[in-house]
Structure 1
Amino acid sequence: AYDDFPTYRKQLDARFAQWLEKKYGTQEKLAAAWGQALTSSERLAEGTVKVEANPWGMTEAGLPREPGGPRTRRLDNAAFLHEVQNVFYNRFVKAIRETGYQGPLIGSPWQAPGMLPHYYNLRSDDQVGYIDRHNYFGEALHDTLLKTPGGGYLSSGLQQVAGKPFGVSEWIHVYPCLNSAEGPVLMAAYGMGLQGWGASYEFQSTSARINWEQALAGNLPYGVWNADVPTQMGQYPILARMVYRGDVSTGPVISTRQVSPQNLATGEFDFTDKIQQQGDVKAFTGTVPAESLAAGRVLVEFVAGQSRSTFPEMAKYRKGTAIVSATGQLTWETAGEGWVTIDTAGTQGYVGFAAGQTLKLGDLHIQPTSHYAAVLVTANTAKGTLARDETALISAVARNANTGFRVLTLDGKTIVDNGKAPILLEPVRAEVTFARRKIARVQVLDQDGQRTNRTVPVQQGRFTIDTGRDQTMYYEVVFQK
C-alpha cells in the first residue's frame, strides 16, 4: 500500500535522508555503517535513501543477526519511523490540549509486530498518555479462553506500562462462539481486578436503536460483535458491583520487562515476546508467559539506563493443575476444559466447565450440574459483603443462540442457518449452599431484575437455581435478620 502513494513516499525518503545526514554527517560515513545495504542510487544529497515501511523486517525474525550492514540499516529505519510517529503524535497532542481539553489521551489502540517495532510503538503510546488496546477472541463455535490462562484478549495486558493506566477499548468473543459468557467475567476479575486496569469497553452495543423483541445473538457479516445479549450485558449488574467495590484486589507486580534506549537502538533485549495475529484476533506470550496474568501484575517499564528485567516465578502460584493469584482471590483451574473461581468478600462464583465439581468458596458452596456456565453471587449494596449484607444477587448464564441457529459441524464456524428471534438461553442448574447464614427466602427475579411472586425452596441454607425451570437468569437471596 505504501508504494501506491509515490508522492508521500518521496517526501518520507527525503526526511529519512535528512535524518541520516544528521546522524552520520556524510555519505561516506553512512556507506561505512551500512556497507552493501546502501545501494548506488541512494544519495543523501538527493534525498533518495528509501524507507522500508514494512515493520515485519524489523522484528526479531526479520533483523539480520550479524552486526553492521543490513542490520544497521534496519535499526536506523526503525528509529526513524519511531521519531516520525512521535513528531506526529506530539503535534496532535499539542493541538488537542490547546483547545482546553484536559482529559485522557491515547496514541493508538493498535500494536506493531513483535519486539523492536512493538516496543518503539508502545513507547510512542506511552509518551502520549495511557495505553489502550483492541483485541478479540474466537470465531469457531466451541472456542474458549479457559483452556489457556491469561490467553486471548486478556494477553493484551502484557503491554501494560509501569506508571500508566491501561485499558482495552474493544474486546469480545466473536460470533458465533458460544462460550462468550466467560469474557465479561474474566475481564472484570483479572483485568479490572487483579491487573488493576483502568478501562474496559466491550465492542459493541447498538442498544439505542435495537428492537429487543427482534434482537439476535448475532448475524453476519457485521453483527459478529454483539454485547447486547444476556451472556454479555446481562452479567453487568453483578460485575459492576464487583468492580466498583474493588472486590478483587489489585495484585503485586511479579514481572517487569525493562526497555532502555540502548535496547531499542541495538534491537537486543533480555527477553523475547511472541505475537500471534489473525485479523483482529491477537495473542501474546514469550519469556513472560500469558499465564502470568493469572498470577499477578505484569508490566513493561521504559528506563533511562540498562536494567535487568524480572520474570515471574510461576511455580509459586501453581497448586496442582490450577494457577492461584497472588492475592488468593482468583483460581484458574486448567483441568478438563477449565474454569475460574472468584472468592472475595463481596463476590463469589465461577465461570467455565465445572459440572460435577464442588466449588468451596468463602461464604458459600456451588455444585454445578450444567456443563458450562457462569454463576456469580454478589452483595447487593455499594459497600457490602456476602457475610453482612441483608440481600445478595445471583446471575446465572450459559450459552445463548438464535432460535433455529445451525452451524456446519465440519468446521464449527460456517453458519448454515443464522436463525431468528427470540434469543434462546441454555438453562443453568446448580446447587448453592450458604453455610454460615440463615436464608429467609430466595426470590426469583424477572429478566429486568424486578421481583416476581415466585420463590425457590430453601433447606438448611441450600437451594437449587434452575434458570430453565424459573425462566430467569437472576435471583435475590434474602437473609434472616
Structure 2
Amino acid sequence: MRRQCIALIAGVLWTPAVADTPATWDFQPAQDVFSDTALLDLSYLNEATAGETGFIRRSDDGAAFVRGDGAPIRFWALNTYVARHGMAALEDHARFLAKRGVNMVRLHGQIPQAGESGGTLEEIDTAERDRLWQLVAAMRQEGIYVTFSPYYPHLVHPEAAQRWQVPVDSEGLTGMIYFDPVLQEAYKGWLRETLLPVNPYTGLALKDDPALAIIQMQNEDSLLFWTFNSIKGREAALLGARFGQFLGEKYGTLAAAQDAWGNAAAPGPIDDMRDDWDSGVIALSNIWHLTSDADPGDAAARLADQTEFLTMIMRDWHAEIARFLREDIGAPQLFNAGNWRTADDVLLDDLERYSYTAGDVIGVNRYVNALHEGEYVGWAIVAGDTYREDGLLRRPLDLPTTLRQPVGYPYIISETLWVPPMWEQSEGPILMAAYQALTGIDISYWFSTDETQWRAPQSANGYLPSIGKWQVATPQQMGAFPAAALIFRLGLIDEAPPVVIEHRPRDTLWARAAPLVAAQQGYDPNRDTGIFGKLLGSGRAQQPEISPYSFLAGPVQVDFDSETGNFVHPDLASLIDEDRQVVTSLTRELSWDWGAGVVTLDAPRAQGVVGALSSATTFTLQDITIESDAEYASIIVVPLDGQPIADASQLLVQINSIARPTGWSAASAAHESGPALEVTAFGEAPWQIDRVNAQVSIRNNGLSRATALDANGMANGEVTASRNNGMLTLTLPSDALYVIID
C-alpha cells in the first residue's frame, strides 16, 4: 500500500513524493487502573483539591491566571462530555486526565430547555445542571478545575422558542441574547437556577465553589458574524429601534444623525428594512457591507455607526452579565463573554475581542482543518468522502495561537483540535504547548471526549457506519499530552516579550481600519457552508504592514482605547525569512521551517523535533541529537523534575506519529482545488500507529537506564542504552509512545 500527501500552500499546490507506508503497530491499551508503580503519572502537578487556596483570579497585570493564594497557575485543558455517563465514570475519567497532565475541563452545555417538547422559557434543564454538579465534584477531587459554557443558541429549536412565547421571526435565536429583553431576563434566571442551589455532591453552591473557575456567557454567537443576516421581522424591528436609540444618544437627535450621514440609505439592509425616522426604527445593513469585500461609498459614516452600535450593544450586555454575576449572584468566578469569530477577521476581529473586554477573559474557538467534503462532513468520516492530507507544518499561519491579544487580559482558546481525516495530528499538542508558552496564550481546551479513557476508532454516533471526527482521546493527540502538559504548565519554553503592540483608538475600530498585522481566519465545516462559504478578507482592505509570521516570533498585542504610538520589536524582521521559509522565536528556542515541514524545540528544558524528520535525518540541538528517516513524527525530550535536560535526574522521551484506523484506505481523486484523495474504506478499531525508527543521544552524565512504557505509563521493557563521548545513546522502541530515562 502506498500513501500520497498533498498540501495547498499559499495558493500553490505542493505534492511530495509518493512513499511507502511505514509498518504499523496496534494501539490497544489496557484499561488504566492507576497503579502506584506507573513510571509516568503527572497528577503530582495538580493541587490535591481544585480551589484549595481559593478562587482562580487574574494576575496583578490582568494578563494571566493565579490561584487563590496568588501563585501563578497554567492550565492544560480539554472539553469533556463524560458527565453523561454518571459519577463513577467521571471519577475514573478525572484520574485518567490528571495522570496525563490535565488540570482544567470545559463543559459546553445547554442550561435552557432546548428541546422540541416540554418546558417553559424560565425553566432550566435540571439534568444538565446535575451533570455539571457531578462534573465539578469529580474533577475537584483530582485537582482539575471546570469551565462552564451554559448557552448555545444554535441548539434551541425555533419551536421551543415559540412555545416559550418568544415570537421568533428569525432563523432561530442567534444574536437575540444581545437585544431581546425577554430572552435576556430568562438568561439571568437560568444562571440563578444553576449557580445558587447547593450542589448535592459537594455541599456547596456553584457560586461558592472555587473548583468552578470560569463561566462563559455563551458559545459561538455574535452580531458580527454572518448569522446577523438571518435576523428578520420582529427581531429586525427590535434591533432597529435599539439602533435608533443609540443614534439619538450619540448625535442628540435623529435628524443630526441623518445630517452626519449625508442622508445615505442603508446599503443591502437586512430583511429589506427601510428607515422609519418618525418611529425611530433605523435599518441595519447586511454584515457583508462591513467586510473588506464591500465598498462603503457614501454610506461610510453610516456603516461606521452601525459597526460601533453592534460592538457596543454586545459589550454593554457583557458588562451587565459581569455585574449580574458579581452583585446579584455573588459569584466570584472569572467571566468570559464569548469565543466566536467574525464575518471578516481582518477588519472585525478586534471589534469582537473589544466587546469581550467588559469581562475578565478573552476567548476564541479555533480548529486546524484540511479539505474534507462529504454528506456528514460536520461530524463523521464515511467511504466516498473527499479529503486532502494537508498537515499544518507547511502552513504555519493556521496555528490556532496566531492571535492578536488584548493587553491586560488572559486569552483562552475554548475549542481546538487537529481534525481528521487530516491524519498529521500528533504535532498538535506539542505545537500548542510550545507556542502558547512563547506567546502567553493562557488555555487551549481540546475538543472533545465522551470516553472515560482512550477512544478507539468507532462510529460517530453509534449508528452510522463511520469514524467520528471531534475526538481528542486518541494516540495522535491525547497520546502527546504528557510532554505537552509539562512544556506548558512548567514553562519549559520561555514566554517572549511582545514583538508587536498596536495601539488602537476606538474610531479606528468603527472605521474598520486594517490592523498592523492580521491573523488568518480559521475554518469550521459546520459554519463555512452555504451562506458562510465564501473566502473572506480579500477586497478593499490594505495589506497589513507587518508580516503575519510575527505571531510565531512572540506575542502580538493590541491595546484598545490607546493613542500611544505602535511598538514593533527591533529584532522582529531578522526573525522572519520568508525566502527560506523559516521563522525563529524571539527567544531563539523555537524554529519553524515551513518549507521543510519541521519545527524544532531547542530550550534548556525542552528539546525535540516535529514533522518531516526525513528532511534532515539528523537534528543536533543543545543537549540532544535525533537521527531518524521518519516522513512524519514528533520526538520530544523533557525533564520530569523541571531541571535542564543536561542536569535532570529523570527524562521523558515522547514519540508520536500518524495513526489511522485498521483497514483505512484511500485512492487518488480529482477536486476543483487540485489533487485530492477519496476514502475507500474508513476502517475500524484498533488504531494503527506508524512505527518510527529513531536514535536519540543525550548529554547528561547522571543518566544510565532507559525504560519503554505502555500507554498508561507502566514499564514495558528495558531500552538498550550506551554511553560514548559524554552522550547517552538509545535506539527508541518503534512501538511505544514513551520512554523514561533515569
Give 2:103's aligned residue. Answer: none
What is aligned with 1:198?
Answer: 442
Q: Which residue of 2 aligns with 1:243?
A: 488
Does residue 1:354 correspond to 2:354, yes or no? no
After TM superposition, list the pairs within 5 Å mapping 1:399-414 onto structure 2.
399-410=658-669, 412=676, 414=678
243, 251, 261: which one pairs with 1:34?
A: 261
Question: Cα deviation per residue 1:352-401 (whole Å; 9 max; x = unaligned)?
Answer: 112143211111111122111000111122x3332222221111111000
Rounded Cα–Cα distance in structure 2 between residues aligned with 1:130 and 1:332: 29
SS in 2 for 1:204: strand
Counterpart in the other structure of 1:86 = 315
Q: Which residue of 2 aligns with 1:114?
A: 345
SS at match of 1:386: coil
The residue aligned with 1:151 is 398
Instruction: Give, in angstroms, the shift of residue 226 of structure 1.
Output: 1.5
Tell me if 1:300 matches 2:558.
yes
Structure 1 contact 217–401 (Cα < 8 Å) conserved: no
Superposition CA RMSD, Å: 2.8
| TM-score, with length taken from structure 2 | 0.58
Deviation, structure 1 residue 41:
5.8
**Which secondary structure state, in structure 2, belongs to the residue aligned with residue 105 of structure 1?**
strand
Deviation at 1:406, TM superposition (A): 1.7
Report the equivalent of 1:99. 329
- Paired AA for residue 86 in structure 1: R
Which of 503, 519, 536 is the aligned partner of 1:258?
A: 503
Q: 1:203: Cα distance to partner?
A: 0.7
Distance (whole Å) between structure 1 residues aligned to residue 276 and residue 450 of structure 2: 54
Structure 2 distance, partners of 1:88, 1:227, is 34
Q: How many pairs does the alignment contain?
A: 463
Q: Say which of 357, 375, 398 aligns to 2:635.
A: 375
Give matches, 1:204-353, under 5 Å. 204-208=448-452, 212=454, 215-216=456-457, 219=460, 223-268=468-513, 271=516, 273=518, 275-279=520-524, 286-305=544-563, 307-308=565-566, 310=568, 314-318=572-576, 321-336=581-596, 338-353=597-612
1:56 to 280, 288, 313: 288
Q: Establish whether residue 76 from structure 1 lines up as the match of residue 305 from structure 2.
A: yes
More displaced stretch, 118-127 vs 145-154: 145-154
| Residue pairs, 1:382-461, within 5 angstroms | 383-410=642-669, 412=676, 414-437=678-701, 439-460=703-724, 461=728
- Could you tell me whether the CA contact under 8 Å between 1:114 and 1:274 is conserved in 2? yes
Kept in 2, the 8 Å contact 1:277–1:283? The answer is no
Q: Say which SS state the counterpart of residue 365 (structure 1) adopts.
A: strand
Aligned-residue identity in percent: 24
Distance 1:274 1:344 in 2: 26
Cα distance in 1, alignment partners of residues 459 and 656 from structure 2 = 17
Provide structure 2 residue ranges, at least 5 long, that are not aligned to the other structure: 1-170, 172-228, 267-272, 371-386, 529-534, 538-542, 670-674
Q: How far is the alpha carbon of 1:189 from its aligned partner?
A: 0.3
Would the aligned equivalents of 1:405 and 1:419 in 2 still touch at CA under 8 Å?
A: yes
Q: How big is the shift at 1:153?
A: 2.1
1:260: Cα distance to partner? 0.7
Asked whether the 8 Å contact 1:217–1:229 carries over to 2, the reply is no
Q: Evaluate the alpha carbon distance shift between residue 38 and residue 100 of structure 1 in structure 2; reply closer, same or farther with a 3 A threshold.
A: same
For the pair 1:126 / 2:353, whether they are aligned, the reply is no
Counterpart residue identity of residue 341, structure 1: T
- Report deviation, 1:150: 3.9
CA distance in 2, matches of 1:73, 1:117: 16
- Give, in angstroms, the shift of residue 277 of structure 1: 4.9
For residues 402-461 of structure 1, what are the alpha-carbon distances to aligned partners after superposition, in whole Å with 9 as ceiling and x for unaligned?
000123421545432110101110001111112453642221222211113433243522
Deviation at 1:177, TM superposition (A): 0.6
Report the 3-state secondary structure (helix = DSSP H, G, I; strand = E; otherwise coil) of the residue aligned with 1:92. helix
Give the TM-score normalised by structure 1. Answer: 0.88
1:82/1:400 Cα in 2 relative to 1: closer, same or farther (>3 Å)? same
Greater alpha carbon shift after TM alignment, 38-47 vs 438-447: 38-47
Indicate if the aligned counterparts of 1:184 and 1:232 stay in contact, CA closer than 8 A: yes
Secondary structure of the 1:200 match is strand
